[in-house]
Structure 1
Amino acid sequence: MLIRIIWRGFKKQLSNYLIFFFSLIFAVMVYYSFTAMTYEQPLIRSAGKNTQLVGMLGFGSFAVVLILLFFMANTNRFFIENRRKDISIFHLYGLNYYQICLWFILEIFFIGIFSFMIGIGLGVLLSKLFSMILVKAMDLPLQVHFFFSTDAVVATGLVVLFILGVVSLQILWLVSGYKFSHLKKLQLRKIQAMKISLWKKILGVIGVLLLLGGWGMAISYIDFAREASEYFGLIQGNGLLMGGIFLLCVIGSYLFFAFTLRWYNSYRPKRLNKNLGMLSRSEWQLRLFSEWRFFGSITVALGLALAILGGMAAVVSLEMRSVNEIAPASLMITRESYEKIAPKLQEMRPYQRQSLNFKTVPAKQSVEISGEGMNSQPEIMDMVSLSDYRSFQKTNPTLRDISLKTASSTVVLSSYQRYLNDYTHYSKSIYLKNRRLTVQETHPNFFGDTNLRYGTGMIVVSDKLFNETPGLSYTIEVIDVKNHNEEKLNRLIRKRLKGDWDFPIHYKLAWKNKQIIGEVSKGEGSKKEDSTIYRSEYTSYQEVYRMTRSSMGLVLFVVTFVTATFIITTASMVTLRQLSEFKQKRKKYALLRQMGIPDKTIYQEIKRENRVVFFIPAILALIHSILALSVISHIAKNADYWFVYLFCGLMLVVYALFYWISCVYQKKLL
């Protein structure tokens, strides 16, 4: 008889266990696929050492474990709370604490092991697809084959056993806290849930104010960031401001669900008498009393996951865009190294060649970075003529059009303009040793790889001024070949050049009596106070592209799949709670039907409850993430965020799908 009762209790939870089961299968499949790729030697060799493939995939696997642990712990707590009546019956039939716990643990282990077997099977079948996506994301010249790893199976099995062990300890703790008076206390809590005292209303108002304050600071981030940078420094100020916005949104979200929404639902205007609106608000008010922590956690975690994805997408976008800015031509090479490969370049005709002439000169321009003070010491700058600039602009279309207004005008190309434009202020004058220049404009420095030049800054001047200004001259050759010769050119470079840092210069500069004191000389400095700078030998577009694409593609791949896993597991948790709550409320709906309320009206009420539960946390998380992206966009200028907005839409689609599944299933049970 007891076995029959236990089995009946298990069958009642079977539909809930199915959602738990399928979500666990998906997580196991993703974890196995990530782990298997770390043992796939052809993929690792093709990726190379610079991408750190194993470490990044290991991080993704660890993140999946944390998500899985969070999912199972929350779901298991919910299962135990929903089976309080079963625990009471078990006690009445004489089962002790350890026997009850053992039964629940066996249920979890049965589902966990079964889902592990199916998840591994699907992971083995789909691991080739995962590898193909990774190879495509990293743009690796690799043919993907079917791969099975026993080490990955063992590692996945150990992780699942560890998680099941943690959940078993949770079961022991949850069941030990059960008392027979729980049901009576639950009724008292329901009565308390319907009462909203004055201090709870105050906390509800505070929750809204905190959310509005955090959102307002995010919208006007740059104004607050400048003030914070002045007081605490650039990095510390921005870090504190971001942390402050995050805390406001987190605390505000929890207070919003705990008090604000409950207070709102306690207000029941007469218009709600139609279509069971009064019942809907009462149910939602009661639900929030016991589950506000769950909804708050889902909201914060979803917003944070999408914000992290947005940050990574911004980094990937900027890094991929920088490929054409660092290497705008097939090859940029020093004149000395060009002469070594010039005879072999004849085999790649036709190709375009351009010589860029630079001068390294002592110069002084005051640069102020908010919170970091002002740098007004003289340094070396690279100078290029306007004619060379315009000629190179044909090869590098990212360069902006420039027209100098006077003979002493100059345009500054700054490396700060991409990331710290809102925090950086330049003086309008640049002092050379023999004259003063007027800064006409300041643009981002897209003049190729800065490692090929000496200066921390770069200025564009008229041809006449370039020829009249003394300085150390050097030349960079720009070679642009046809696409089908890119690989051949790269092999030639690897064979003939070492990629060394060479051509040193040294200097010691000072500012006295409104003049620059000191000279720039070739060779390494012989004194400790001398500053020595080297230049790199060449920059190849294909090398830069492959290195950037492989590393950024790997990052985006891991973060994307981890975020997708988290979105699916959170939607599964919400669905699980909805279906379980519905089974407990079926008697209420049956009573409404006996009172003459049409099935259509009852179904509309069910859909209304599902919409509130699914979409309020999702929309609030969406607002958090979009405003987080606005903060990131103030720091990382000109990044593309379409991928993140696509994922935000994907999150809504996933939640809408689970909402639809819940409604359809509940309609069948109605």
Structure 2
Amino acid sequence: MIFNLSWKNFKGQFLNYFVYFVSMTFAVIVYYCFSAITYNRALVKRVGQEIHISGAMNFGGILLIIMVLGFMLAANHFFLLKRRREIDLYHLFGMRKSQISLLFFMETLIIGAASLVVGIIFGVIFSKLFSMILAKAMFLKVESLFSISFPSMMQTALIFVFMLLIVSFRSTWTIYRYRVTSLTKNVEERMIESKKLSKLSFFWAVLGIVLILTGYLLSYYVMPFAVSLNKALGSFTGILLAPLLIMLICMVGTYLFFKYTIYLIVYLIEKNRSSYYRNLHMLALGNTKFHIKKSGRTLSTITIFIAVALGMIGGSASLYTLGMNSVKVTAPTDFIVSEDTVNKLKKKIEAEPNTVIDSSVTLKFKLTGSRFHFKIGQEQKESSLSPINLIALSNYREYQRINPYLKDIQITHEQEAVTLDSLQNILSGFVRYDSVFDLQGGQKLIVKETKPDYLGQDLMRYMMPTLVVSDALYQRIDTGLTYNLTAFNVQTSDEEALTNFLAESIKPNWTSPIYYRYQWIDNQVSGYIKKASQVKEEDLSTIGTDEEEFWQLNYTNHFSDLRYERRVMGLFIYVAMFLGILALIITGSILMLQQFAEAEKEKAKYDLLRKIGVSQKQMTWLVYQQNSIIFFPPMVIGVLHATFAIYVFSKFVSSSGYWLAYLSCGLLILIYLAYYFLTSAIYTRIIRGRDQR
């Protein structure tokens, strides 16, 4: 009997369960495909050992489980509220709580099993498509991507059955913990409050909007805010702490906004008596106040969830662009090689068939001691006493002919110089050098400007600042050390085969150590920089030394770096995009289910309106107005949160891909508008009584 009753209830609640079914099925498909990819040997082997594809997929699976479990618990809560009168009838018919709980368990099991089976079937069908998308994102060429993973089926089934059990136990606990009458008690009776707004509620309402605006203001001035935190904390942790504090402020402000601020706005609108009694405005405002009071926590949670989802989508797209740009910074030509590796590497390349070396340029650097000042953000000047790299302007321009990313530089006076800073590629303007560099030997450099560093991997230059100087000044400097790097391009029929061949014989390694020690004495730089340590071993063991030691990376390979970045960033954007889209679907589904539950409870109210002469057109307007309060504020504030979050990210990391992040905000608006119109149409259908069993 219980099974038959459960089946009848399921058919009667088909509309609500269909939304739940579709969302759950999509989640099962995504989880199965994530899991199946980790068992796809052809794909994992093609990616290689340097990319841990299973770790990324498992981490994405964990986040998916958390999101889906939250959705299932929320949906189950709405189902219980919607069917409170039905539960009361079961109680009057003499059914025990155990039987009622078993009834809900059977319904949960039916819809869960159906979504699980259908999800796995579609997951198997679409697993090749998911794998192709991943392979495309990671620029992989794999012949066969289709596979049926039985371990993934078992893993997906166990995970979702476990979540279904959690939801079932939660509904059982709810039914057993409260009296049945408490479930059937009208929420309206619990929500009745005085029409007067208390002073405490007014304070929280104002504080909510103040916190959100404060978060936005701090986002706009995030760099000065981060520097202020650095000063207060006495360290550079403020750079990381600033975005976290802004996020916390916005989260608290969001909760207060939906809990109190919107209620205050409606309360103030009610004061306008000229429009309050016009048409159905009085009823619309009353419904709005009621739904805001009841759904404040849900709306605030969904808004934060939306902002996080948009951040995942937009941030992943921006990081992908940033990763591709980093290859231009570290490996602007096919190879950049140190002196002790260049001959060996060239012999290996020339031995390969259909491979020719062209466009070779030797970069000649001088390491010399220098004293200079710099600022981090708006912080006070910091002083540094260390070697710097110098390169002649003519050598720089020679390299510019084969390196298209180098910026044009003009030097008009002998003492002028241009600083090349790799941080300008990411944290634009965050690190600023002073205009004067004091060199060992009494020379002074006047910094004309600072430009992004596209000379190549700065680890090959001992991680020192690099300055472009005039040829005359470069020839005159005779202190320090000189070293060369060779940059060249290669014409070959198969870049990947060449890279794999070289990887077996020539490994990236640390070579050519240097040792230096500098002091500022009598307003001059004094000290040394050598290829051998000047400190005796016995002195080092007894008194220590302030001599510094640095090593040089031996070579970089453009294709190797590009392949790595494509695979890492492609994997990241793949996981983030699917999780972000799933999050948007889940949040929209939660709001839709919530409104369906409200429609069932408000049938009697709309029947009364119909009897007193309110037209169907007016009631439809009332439905759309009521749903707009539920869908639009989370959408608008979520987009605003995401927009300012992207702005904060752009101040720390420069990238040309932020338009993709804003495009994701447009995607959210389209999804939520679709949910809004669909929910309003079905809501109208429900209150008309066309879906009655």
TM-score band, normalised by the shorter chain? over 0.9
Residues 1:211 and 2:248 aligned together: no
In the alignment, residue 109 of structure 2 is paired with which amino acid? Answer: F
Deviates more, 1:299-308 or 1:112-121: 299-308
In the alignment, residue 472 of structure 2 is paired with which amino acid? Answer: K
Whether contact under 8 Å (2:132, 2:145) holds in the other structure is: no
Residue matched to 1:262: 263
Whether contact under 8 Å (1:80, 1:175) holds in the other structure is: no
1:109 positional shift: 1.4
Query: Aligned match of 2:361 in 327, 346, 354?
Result: 354
Residue matched to 2:43: 43
Whether contact under 8 Å (1:318, 1:638) holds in the other structure is: yes
- Number of residue equivalences: 670
After TM superposition, the score normalised by the length of structure 1 is: 0.94
Change over 3 Å in CA distance of 1:215–1:173 after alignment to 2: same
Q: Cα deviations across residues 90-131 of structure 1 (Å, max 9, x unaligned)?
A: 222222222221211121112111110111001110111110
Query: Aligned match of 2:422 in 407, 415, 433?
Result: 415
1:215 positional shift: 1.5
Secondary structure of 2:372's partner?
Answer: coil
Deviates more, 1:22-31 or 1:266-275: 266-275
Residue matched to 1:458: 466
1:238 positional shift: 3.2
Residue matched to 1:304: 308
Residue matched to 1:345: 350
Whether contact under 8 Å (1:382, 1:455) holds in the other structure is: no
Whether contact under 8 Å (2:357, 2:488) holds in the other structure is: no
Task: Give the root-mean-square deviation of aligned CA atoms.
Answer: 2.4
Change over 3 Å in CA distance of 1:643–1:370 after alignment to 2: closer
Whether contact under 8 Å (1:80, 1:174) holds in the other structure is: no
In the alignment, residue 425 of structure 1 is paired with which amino acid? Answer: R
Whether contact under 8 Å (1:429, 1:437) holds in the other structure is: yes
Whether contact under 8 Å (2:43, 2:145) holds in the other structure is: no
1:407 positional shift: 0.9
Change over 3 Å in CA distance of 1:285–1:55 after alignment to 2: same
Give the Cα separation in 1 of the matches to 2:95 and 2:215.
Answer: 52
**1:594-633 matched pairs, under 5 angstroms:** 594-633=611-650
Whether contact under 8 Å (2:284, 2:622) holds in the other structure is: yes
1:137 positional shift: 0.6
Change over 3 Å in CA distance of 1:657–1:185 after alignment to 2: closer
Whether contact under 8 Å (2:3, 2:106) holds in the other structure is: no
**1:342-421 matched pairs, under 5 angstroms:** 342=346, 344-345=349-350, 348-349=355-356, 351-369=358-376, 375-421=382-428
Secondary structure of 1:166's partner?
Answer: helix
In the alignment, residue 396 of structure 2 is paired with which amino acid? Answer: Y
Whether contact under 8 Å (2:316, 2:577) holds in the other structure is: no
Query: Aligned match of 2:652 in 635, 641, 645?
Result: 635
Percent identity reads: 31
Whether contact under 8 Å (2:422, 2:453) holds in the other structure is: yes
Secondary structure of 2:411's partner?
Answer: coil
Whether contact under 8 Å (1:378, 1:510) holds in the other structure is: yes
Deviates more, 1:651-660 or 1:581-590: 581-590
Query: Aligned match of 2:590 in 543, 551, 573?
Result: 573
Give the Cα separation in 2 of the matches to 1:511 and 1:352.
Answer: 42
Whether contact under 8 Å (1:284, 1:609) holds in the other structure is: yes
Residue matched to 2:691: none
In the alignment, residue 60 of structure 1 is paired with which amino acid? Answer: G
Whether contact under 8 Å (2:392, 2:474) holds in the other structure is: yes
Give the Cα separation in 2 of the matches to 1:413 and 1:658.
Answer: 51
Query: Aligned match of 1:446 in 441, 446, 454?
Result: 454
In the alignment, residue 65 of structure 1 is paired with which amino acid? Answer: I
Q: Cα deviations across residues 200-249 of structure 1 (Å, max 9, x unaligned)?
A: 22321221112112112212222322222221245422344323322221
1:480 positional shift: 1.6
Change over 3 Å in CA distance of 1:499–1:425 after alignment to 2: closer
Give the Cα separation in 2 of the matches to 1:390 and 1:447.
Answer: 11
Give the Cα separation in 1 of the matches to 2:567 and 2:532.
Answer: 37
Residues 1:169 and 2:173 aligned together: no
Give the Cα separation in 2 of the matches to 1:308 and 1:22.
Answer: 23
Residue matched to 2:243: 242
1:421 positional shift: 4.3
Whether contact under 8 Å (2:389, 2:466) holds in the other structure is: yes
Deviates more, 1:203-212 or 1:269-278: 269-278
Give the Cα separation in 2 of the matches to 1:602 and 1:277.
Answer: 11
Residue matched to 1:188: 189
In the alignment, residue 316 of structure 1 is paired with which amino acid? Answer: Y
1:465 positional shift: 1.1
Deviates more, 1:211-220 or 1:111-120: 211-220
Residues 1:557 and 2:557 aligned together: no
Residue matched to 2:29: 29
Residue matched to 1:146: 146
Residue matched to 1:64: 64
Whether contact under 8 Å (2:128, 2:145) holds in the other structure is: yes
Residues 1:228 and 2:229 aligned together: yes
Give the Cα separation in 1 of the matches to 2:337 and 2:656.
Answer: 29
1:412 positional shift: 1.2
In the alignment, residue 206 of structure 2 is paired with which amino acid? Answer: V
In the alignment, residue 632 of structure 1 is paired with which amino acid? Answer: F
Give the Cα separation in 1 of the matches to 2:249 and 2:140.
Answer: 43
Give the Cα separation in 2 of the matches to 1:273 and 1:12.
Answer: 38
Q: Cα deviations across residues 7-35 of structure 1 (Å, max 9, x unaligned)?
A: 65444432111111111111111001001
**1:122-141 matched pairs, under 5 angstroms:** 122-141=122-141
In the alignment, residue 449 of structure 1 is paired with which amino acid? Answer: Q
Give the Cα separation in 2 of the matches to 1:661 and 1:26.
Answer: 19
Change over 3 Å in CA distance of 1:273–1:455 after alignment to 2: same
Give the Cα separation in 1 of the matches to 2:506 and 2:9.
Answer: 74
Give the Cα separation in 2 of the matches to 1:6 and 1:355.
Answer: 79
Secondary structure of 1:397's partner?
Answer: coil
Change over 3 Å in CA distance of 1:4–1:109 after alignment to 2: closer
1:406 positional shift: 1.6
Give the Cα separation in 2 of the matches to 1:371 and 1:219.
Answer: 15
Whether contact under 8 Å (2:224, 2:378) holds in the other structure is: no
Deviates more, 1:211-220 or 1:598-607: 598-607
1:649 positional shift: 1.2
After TM superposition, the score normalised by the length of structure 2 is: 0.91
Residue matched to 1:288: 292
Residue matched to 2:514: 505
Q: Cα deviations across residues 77-101 of structure 1 (Å, max 9, x unaligned)?
A: 1111222212222222222222221
Secondary structure of 1:404's partner?
Answer: coil
In the alignment, residue 541 of structure 1 is paired with which amino acid? Answer: H
Q: Cα deviations across residues 488-523 of structure 1 (Å, max 9, x unaligned)?
A: 653563355333322222222222222222222224
Deviates more, 1:46-55 or 1:587-596: 587-596
1:51 positional shift: 1.7
Query: Aligned match of 2:559 in 539, 542, 545?
Result: 542
Whether contact under 8 Å (1:193, 1:285) holds in the other structure is: no
Deviates more, 1:175-184 or 1:117-126: 175-184
Query: Aligned match of 1:320 in 319, 324, 333?
Result: 324
Secondary structure of 1:519's partner?
Answer: strand
Residue matched to 2:475: 467
Deviates more, 1:138-147 or 1:337-346: 337-346
1:6 positional shift: 6.0
1:647 positional shift: 1.4
Secondary structure of 2:30's partner?
Answer: helix
Query: Aligned match of 1:645 in 662, 680, 691?
Result: 662
In the alignment, residue 515 of structure 1 is paired with which amino acid? Answer: Q
Residue matched to 1:332: 336
Change over 3 Å in CA distance of 1:71–1:2 after alignment to 2: closer
